Copies of this chain bind each other. A is one copy, B any other.
Amino acid sequence: GPLNEVLFFPSPPACVEHLFTPARTLPCSCSLPHGVETSFGKMLGHVLSAKVSLDLCVFSFSHVELCRAVLLLHSRGIAVRVLTDADYMLITGSQIGALRRAGICVRHDVSNAVHMHHKFALVDRRKLITGSLNWTLTAVQSNKENVMVTEEPDLVPPYQKEFESLWEASDPG
Residues of chain A whose beta carbon lies under 8 Å from any beta carbon of chain B: 1, 4, 6, 8, 10, 59, 109, 111, 113-120, 130-133, 138-139, 142-146, 148, 150, 152, 154-155, 158-159, 162, 166
Contact = CB atoms under 8 A, between A and B. Distances in A.
13 contacts: A4-B154, A4-B155, A6-B159, A8-B162, A116-B144, A117-B139, A117-B143, A118-B146, A119-B132, A120-B146, A130-B148, A144-B166, A150-B155
A147 to B, nearest CB: 10
A125 to B, nearest CB: 15
Given A4-B155, A6-B155, A159-B6, A144 B131 contact: no
Contact of A113 (B109, B142, B148, B162): B142
Given A152-B152, A155-B150, A118 B138 contact: no
Interface of chain A, main secondary structure: mixed
A155 B70 CA distance: 27
A139 B158 CA distance: 19
Given A4-B155, A152-B4, A144 B115 contact: yes
A150 B156 CA distance: 13
A118 B148 CA distance: 12
Contacts of A8: 158, 162
Given A1-B154, A4-B154, A154-B1, A144 B117 contact: yes
Given A115-B143, A144-B166, 16 more contacts: A4-B154, A109-B144, A111-B144, A113-B142, A113-B143, A114-B143, A115-B138, A115-B144, A116-B144, A117-B132, A117-B139, A118-B146, A119-B132, A130-B132, A130-B146, A148-B148
